[in-house]
């Protein structure tokens, strides 16, 4: 398993090995991949390491498991570059996985400064402390040490405190949100979400049969109070989803006064609130109010993931909820997430030791620097074509075409030059943001970013409607 990057997490080396197997030219038949045990013996690593690599590939949609048969995949080389249908999101995903692509559609802040090395060292140390002992008592809601660390991190006062029993950890964010949708009975119910909104969440709500009302973020970064008031008066809204800090993908931050007004409206309506805290610690300034500081904690749920600040080696999602304890515990038990207790302990130690806070200081600085470089390039090369919303954090930049264009055609043209962007329509279920794009300023590999942005400007001008 040793190679040019010996500091890598072992699972990353396994991931690259499997990625190579999948990408080799083959027939149109599905590829049967080695079993967990076979691969562990072949590569000299633990079965749990193999499981993590497979989980990452499964999350990417490149690997799927068949009960009692193992893992299977189709090779990337056998997938049509523009996907098999007219699904724009599928097309983005498929092309982002093709070799040699400059992926300006991603949202991977931890790519600049992953925490894999400290996590690996902690995990090795913990494995020496807990050597192959019999499985402990089942913890279906996650490792107690990690849940305790998260509860402490979110506690801000005696009135706004959390305990380990209020924290639920799942294999990934999608699985956690699926449980929440079931527990809250959101099928056919009405829910308000900020718009633009993360495409993964929108697709999940759509697949679950949730009726989604979109609340646009205004040009001044605030939420539209009048529209929210009308929505709450006209509809039996079950749940309102709000960003704890940054609205992503805009990277914008509502004013404290606007947040207080929104909280008052929601309290009057008596709705449940779901706070999206995935980007809560990635703002360049960290002194803004959170909705959880303003709302009744007994009708508040908070969700997040470690992946945005630690990296893909920590894919777990988690939920904080003071109410609904019995139902949430039952559904997490039924879901039976297979989570490594050692990996969870290692993450908990990163929090309790202060290592996460040190890491965030560095990561925010790197993100701010990279954002500045990207905006300078956009201003130099596309000032006549794009309007930029300067982000207050995160790893992406939200832009609007100054000319009327068919952004799908722009997207397709750029694919021919091995550049992937994220059209704004992906961030809405109701046809909003069709003149917008989300661009990333963190990406892997060696690419000529200036040339790629110059190409984007050329295509936008060619596709402009007079």
> Which tokens go with 443?
């990406």
Q: Confirm whether 3 is domain-assigned.
A: no
CA–CA gap between residue 339 and residue 170 (Å, rounded): 8
Residue 316 within a domain = yes
Both 366 and 291 in one domain: the answer is no
Tens of pLDDT, residues 308-336: 999 888 889 999 999 999 999 999 999 87
pLDDT at 8 over 50: no
In a domain, 84, yes or no: no
Retrieve residue 273's tokens: 């609130």
Q: Is 248 left (phi over 0), alpha (psi -120 to 50) or beta?
A: beta
% the chain with pLDDT above 90: 62
Judgement on whether residues 185 and 319 belong to the same structural domain of the protein: yes
Query: Residues 132, 46: one domain?
Result: no
Check pLDDT > 80 for residue 347.
yes
Q: Does the CA dihedral 160-166-169-175 come out positive or negative?
A: negative
Q: What is the dihedral of CA 442, 445, 448, 449, to 10 degrees?
A: -10
Whether residues 344 and 383 share a domain: the answer is: no
Supply the CATH number for residue 365's domain.
3.90.1150.10
Asked if the structure places residue 85 within a domain, the reply is: no
| Domain final residue, candidates 304, 325, 353 | 353
Kindly report, residue by residue over 250-302, the tens digit of the pLDDT.
999 999 999 999 999 999 999 999 999 999 999 998 777 899 999 988 999 99
DSSP 111: G
Q: Which three-class secondary structure state does DSSP give residue 273? A: strand
The domain of 438 spans 102-107+360-462
Are residues 220 and 139 part of one domain?
yes
283, 204: one domain: yes
Q: Is the pLDDT of residue 23 over 90?
A: no
Predicted pLDDT of residue 439: 96
Query: What mean pLDDT do residues 441-447 have?
Result: 79
Q: How many residues are listed for the chain in this entry?
A: 466
Residues 139 and 196 in one domain: yes
Q: What are the pLDDT digits (tens) for 367-424? A: 999 999 999 999 999 999 999 999 999 999 999 999 999 999 999 999 999 999 999 9
Domain check: are 261 and 367 in the same one? Answer: no
Q: What percent of the chain has pLDDT over 70?
A: 90
Angle at 449 between CA 444 and CA 454, to 5 degrees: 150
| pLDDT of 181 over the 60 cut | yes
Q: What is the pLDDT of residue 5?
A: 38
Looking at the domain assignment, is residue 2 inside a domain? no
Q: Does residue 302 fall inside a structural domain?
A: yes
Both 148 and 259 in one domain: the answer is yes
Exposed/middle/buried for 259, CB within 10 Å: 0-12, 13-18, 19+? buried
* Whole-structure pTM value: 0.83
Q: What is the pLDDT of residue 135?
A: 53
Rounded to an integer, the average pLDDT of 180-203 is: 96
Same domain, 181 and 324: yes
DSSP code per residue over 421-452: -EEGGGG-SSS--TTEEEEES---S---HHHH
Measured over the CA atoms of residue 397, residue 395, residue 23 and residue 172, the dihedral's sign is: negative
Cα-based distances in Å from 63 to 15, 18, 71, 108:
11, 10, 7, 21
Provide the CATH number for the domain around residue 203.
3.40.640.10
Query: 262 and 211 in one domain?
Result: yes
Edge-first strand listing for the sheet containing 70-73: 31-32, 70-73, 64-66
Q: Is 368 or 33 the better-scoring residue by pLDDT?
A: 368
Please report the pLDDT score of residue 18 as a whole number.
83
Both 274 and 188 in one domain: the answer is yes
- Give the number of domains in the chain: 3
Nearest in space to 97 (alpha carbons), one of 23, 33, 27, 173: 23
């Amino acid at each position: 398993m040793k190679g040019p990057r010996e500091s890598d997490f072992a699972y990353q080396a396994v991931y690259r090995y499997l990625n190579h197997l999948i990408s080799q030219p083959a027939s149109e038949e599905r590829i049967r991949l080695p079993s967990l045990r076979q691969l562990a013996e072949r590569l000299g690593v633990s079965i749990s390491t193999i499981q993590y690599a497979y989980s990452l590939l499964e999350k990417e949609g490149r690997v799927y498991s068949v009960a009692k048969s193992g893992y299977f995949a189709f090779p990337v080389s056998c997938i049509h570059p523009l996907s098999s249908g007219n699904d724009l999101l599928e097309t983005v995903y498929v092309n982002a996985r093709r070799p040699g692509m400059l992926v300006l559609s991603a949202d991977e802040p931890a790519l600049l400064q992953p925490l894999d090395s400290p996590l690996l060292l902690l995990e090795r140390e913990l494995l020496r402390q807990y050597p192959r002992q019999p499985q402990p008592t089942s913890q279906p809601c996650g490792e107690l040490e990690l849940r305790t660390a998260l509860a402490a991190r979110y506690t801000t006062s005696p009135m706004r405190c959390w305990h380990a029993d209020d924290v639920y950890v799942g294999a990934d964010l999608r699985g956690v949100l699926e449980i929440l949708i079931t527990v809250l009975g959101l099928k056919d119910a009405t829910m308000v979400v900020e718009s633009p909104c993360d495409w993964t969440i929108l697709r999940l709500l759509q697949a679950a049969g949730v009726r989604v009302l979109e609340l646009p973020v205004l040009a001044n970064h605030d939420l539209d109070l009048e529209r929210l008031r009308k929505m709450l008066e006209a509809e039996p809204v079950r749940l309102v989803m709000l960003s704890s800090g940054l609205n992503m993908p805009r990277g914008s931050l509502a004013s404290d006064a606007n947040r207080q007004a929104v909280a008052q409206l929601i309290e009057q309506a008596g709705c449940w609130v779901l706070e999206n805290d995935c980007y809560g610690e990635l703002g360049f300034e960290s002194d803004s109010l959170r909705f959880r500081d303003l709302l009744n904690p007994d009708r508040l749920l908070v969700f997040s993931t470690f992946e945005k600040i630690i990296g893909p080696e920590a894919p777990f999602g988690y939920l904080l909820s003071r109410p609904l304890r019995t139902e949430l515990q039952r559904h997490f038990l039924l879901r039976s997430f297979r989570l490594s207790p050692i990996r969870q302990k290692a993450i908990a130690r990163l929090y309790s030791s202060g290592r996460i806070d040190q890491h965030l200081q560095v990561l925010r600085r790197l993100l701010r620097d990279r954002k500045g470089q990207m905006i300078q390039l956009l201003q130099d090369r596309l000032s006549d074509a794009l309007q930029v919303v300067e982000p207050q954090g995160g790893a992406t930049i939200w832009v609007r075409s100054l000319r009327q264009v068919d952004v799908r055609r722009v997207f397709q043209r750029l694919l021919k030059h091995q550049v992937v962007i994220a059209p704004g329509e992906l961030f809405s279920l109701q046809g909003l943001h069709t003149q917008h794009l989300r661009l990333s300023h963190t990406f892997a590999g060696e690419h000529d970013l200036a040339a790629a942005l110059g190409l984007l400007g050329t295509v936008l001008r060619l596709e402009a409607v007079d």
